[in-house]
Structure 1
Amino acid sequence: MNLSIISLIVLVIVVAIGFIKKVNLGFLSIGVAFFLGTVGGMSAKDIAAGFSSSMFVTLVGVTFLFGMASNNGTLELFSKKIVALVGKHTVLIPILMFFLSAFISAIGPGHIAAGILMTTFAMYLAFEMDINPMATALYAKLGANAGCASVLSLTGVLAKNLSEPLGYSGFGLHLFLSTLLSGFIFTLVVYVIYKGYKVKADNPLKLSEIPKFNRDQWLTIIAIIVMVICCIGFKLDTGLFAFAAAAVLILLGAVDEKKAIKGIPWGTLVFICGVGVLINVIDTLGGITMISDFLTGFMNEHTATPILAATSGILSWVSSTTGVVMPTLFPIAADVCKTFGGANYVEIISAITATSFAAAISPLSTGGAIIMSSYSAARETTNEELNKMFKTLFLLSVANVLLNVLLSALGVFKLGGLFY
């Protein structure tokens, strides 16, 4: 058995251990990568090269800044003010929750932070306004997933860092719009299933009853706006600018530095970068090339996108989109494009990303788990209710994956070739 096959078997075992034992795959991956790389004749320097320091700095900077915005109440108060704008027109709340979550996710926090914030907010809001809590939380989580591929957010940063070494760049807007479109289409499906057009709240939020932004919150909002303008408009480094903005807020006494540091998802960051180390070793040993050769053996330029989309959805049910699916499938997408001249890398990675996030509302993933935990935290819940929620979320996840595979087959993720 050659090393390429062994490396793939190791990857499957690592993912299985993480899924069964609920351990952080990042730490496990780095340890396994060391032994696997050493057996394969790689030096320690070559093994460590898979840890993207630039991506780590970017992710720490962004999560640090938005952890501050969350801790001082800026994001929650902003969300309440936006929801209050609809007044008695509560039929607009489902769509508003989607776009508000997508916006917050897109400007920096990403799907995990924005998902936790907005899903929890949506759940309590639903109980307070006496509307469907499951549906309201789904709108929020789908929005957080849909908006997370912006150039400022974790997923967009990861896509850029994974693709540039493969020779691809300049697709940021396309990837963002593709993921946003995918999420919005399924949100409309959920809207119809749960009859969102009939939503009528007995206790709508009133703007006059919501407190004004204080000094610290206004400073935080200004810092975020300046960062968005500078990073998108002037192409400045997102992570480093986030650190600069955070430093200014700390010096002005607008945020609690210690709480923000504790709020950085260190486990998630090590997860993403650690798996990257293992994927780099597997790629060096020929494992990625072997998977590419296997997949290209029964696909052509027309079926490549839906097949890889379906693969990403299935993988996402048992692993992380940013930690496992994207680092594994992006290099394969590049190999597929080399094999089939008519295949388009940007279309394929857009389908991979969107479909993987489509699966992320499953209760086996972070998204579905957030919805269930928020529901349990907001009210006393029986085991029967939890089991019903588990089944419903998983079936919705399957439906969402199938929808995205269909969209992939129809060429929707090309977006008419307008953005690349």
Structure 2
Amino acid sequence: MPTALLSIGVLAAVLALATVRPVNMGVLGLVAAFFVGSLIGGESPDDVLASFPAELFVVLVGVTYLFAIAKNNGTVQWLVEATFRLAGGRTSAIPWVFFLLSTAICGIGALPPAVGAILMPIAMSFATAHGLRPLLVSILIGLGSTAGSFAPTGLLGVIVHGVQEKNGLASNPLLLFACTFGIGTAVAVATYVLLARRQAPAVVVADSPGAATAPPSTSLSPQQGLTLLGFVVLTVGALVFGLDIGFLALTVAAVLALAFPATSRSAVKEVSWDIILLMAGILTYIGVLQRNGTIDWLGTSVAGVDSPLLAALLICLIGAVVSAFASTTGILGAVIPLTVPLIATGEIGAIGFVAALAISSSLVDVSPFSTGGAIAMANAPEPERRRIYRGLLRFSGAMAVVGPLLSWSILVAPGWL
């Protein structure tokens, strides 16, 4: 037990330090793995690195590299323009345009902060021009990112599926996406009803004073068409034929790079190396915990809990609160393996519990202390920034309670997943 408590304490310290200091959590995770594994546990460096997530590494590199190419060659911008046209100039539809855009772009492998950086300046311009509340569009962009990120080709969906497989947990990528998309959309509808105010008669966006901020209509170039075809191949290959999504994404990216080297040359620099380092470090340390008996000790502790359902709810609540201040990616990578003993009791379904934890940890991602929230405030009109800060704080505080209770009551308590 002393080693287990020390190991958990080190994990808590890693999460805390990465929250209050600008240090990549993965670096701290690798240091923790060396400290606990080698200096305390007597493992060799090779033993410590045995839990390095090589398969997940390939997946993350492949997916984010492909998205970087799509962004550089204008495919992402084309998706933005095409979706704006679907709004048909209706002001009331604009928040939902941004919701669907963030869902779609995150669904093809983009990081939510990257989506915020792409969409938030445009969203704030549209909100100002058409009398919409900037708080509403910023929250819907965040919720759209949550809805899309857990798609089978979304970054968080890939991570969660990889962690589940690595720890022998049942997984269903499509069901995870359906759950996160459904609850994320329901929260978005409720938010829209609460925050949307009566608008002036709809105006045509192209003729409005804010029209200069809207992307011009463009046709689909051959390069963009091939990129979209690559996304189709990636989705069908992974879901229908069971091909490895990491190597498949790398293959599609390599074809695009060979065919169009000019727009692909800088994409390697734009791969999300910080996220890849974060996941590699955290999962390497979790592997040390599995070998030194910490996970087994947690299993024994869970066995003594009177109600596994209550324990599951508490874990979801903790995940939500911590994620409001820390990386959702890191939280999921660290907490999902620690739920194995609770799931092993047989009273909690793995698929439903992990989906509930994913939803709980991601609905708070528009917290003003998160990257997404900071991007929203930075792009808001100056008079609105204080209001947006207070609004995001209230929303994330509510989601830290509502998210776990809602997802737990739907996905965990009934026992159908």
Shift of 1:128: 4.7
The residue number in structure 1 matching 2:6 is: 6
TM-score, length-normalised on structure 1?
A: 0.89
Q: How many pairs align?
A: 410
The runs of 5 or more residues in structure 2 that have no matched partner are 208-213
Alpha carbons of 1:278 and 1:253: their partners in 2 closer, same or farther (altered >3 Å)? same
Structure-2 residue corresponding to 1:243: 250
Residues in 2 aligned to 1:146 and 1:17: alpha-carbon distance in whole angstroms: 29
- 1:87/1:205 contact within 8 Å kept: no
Does 1:347 pair with 2:352?
yes
| In structure 1, distance between residues paired with 2:83 and 2:117 | 18
Q: Following TM superposition, by how much is the alpha carbon of 1:250 offset from its aligned partner in structure 2, in angstroms?
A: 1.7
Conservation of the 8 A alpha-carbon contact between 1:120 and 1:137: no
**Cα-Cα RMSD:** 2.6
Instruction: Tell me whether 1:365 sits opposite 2:354 in the alignment.
Output: no
Q: Cα distance 1:157–1:70, how it changes in 2: closer, same or farther (>3 A)?
A: same
- Residue 336 of structure 1, aligned match among 342, 364, 371: 342
Measure the CA separation in 2 of the matches of 1:129 and 1:203: 10
Matched with 1:24 is 24
Is the CA contact 2:359–2:407 (under 8 Å) kept in the aligned structure 1? no
Q: Take 1:18 and 1:127, find their aligned partners in 2: how far apart are those partners?
A: 35
Q: Which runs of 5+ in 1 are unaligned?
A: none
Separation in structure 2 between the aligned mates of residue 82 and residue 46 of structure 1, nearest angstrom = 50
Within 5 A, what are the aligned runs for 1:38-117? 38=38, 39-117=40-118
Q: What does residue 240 of structure 2 align with?
A: 233
Alpha-carbon distance in structure 1 between the residues aligned to 2:119 and 2:272: 17
In structure 2, the CA distance between the partners of 1:2 and 1:72, relative to structure 1 (3 Å rule), is same
How far apart, CA to CA, are the structure 1 residues paired with 2:274 and 2:156?
16
TM-score, normalization: structure 2?
0.89
Q: Which residue pairs with 2:268 in the alignment?
A: 261
Secondary structure of 2:152 counterpart: coil
Per the alignment, in what secondary structure is the counterpart of residue 242 of structure 2?
A: coil
Offset, 1:296: 5.5
Give the share of equivalent positions with the same residue, in percent.
Answer: 29
* Equivalent-residue separation in structure 1 for 2:163 and 2:203 (angstroms): 48
Is structure 2 residue 288 aligned with structure 1 residue 281? yes
Query: What's the counterpart of residue 150 of structure 1?
Result: 151
1:35-67 CA distances to partner (integer Å, 9 max, x unpaired)?
221111222122112220111111111111111
Q: Is the 8 A contact 2:302 2:341 kept in 1?
A: no
- Is residue 360–residue 404 contact of structure 2 (8 Å, CA) maintained in 1? yes
Structure 2 matches for 1:118-129, cutoff 5 A?
118-129=119-130
Task: Tell me the equivalent position of 2:210.
Answer: none
Q: 1:355 to 1:197 in 2, by over 3 A?
A: farther
2:333 alignment counterpart: 327
Answer with 50-59 or 88-97: which moved more.
Answer: 88-97
Cα separation, 2, equivalents of 1:290 and 1:119: 45
CA contact (8 A) 1:272 1:322 kept: yes
Spell out the pairing of 1:166-315 with structure 2 (5 A cutoff). Answer: 166-195=167-196, 198=199, 202-205=203-206, 210-253=217-260, 256-294=263-301, 297-315=304-322
Shift of 1:370: 2.4
Q: Would the aligned equivalents of 1:131 and 1:200 in 2 still touch at CA under 8 Å?
A: no
* Partners of 2:235 and 2:198 in 1: CA distance: 34
What is the alpha-carbon distance in structure 1 between the residues aligned to residue 201 and residue 302 of structure 2? 49
Cα contact 2:234–2:252 (8 A) shared by 1: yes
Instruction: Please say which of residues 204-213 and 138-147 is displaced more in the overlay.
Output: 204-213
Q: CA deviation at 1:111?
A: 3.1
Are 1:68 and 1:255, in contact at CA under 8 Å, matched by a contact in 2?
no
Q: Per the alignment, in what secondary structure is the counterpart of residue 405 of structure 1?
A: helix
* Offset of residue 141 of structure 1: 1.6
Counterparts of 2:98 and 2:314, CA distance in 1: 32
Aligned equivalents of 1:363 and 1:292: distance in 2? 35
| CA pair 125-216 structure 1, distance change in 2 beyond 3 A | farther
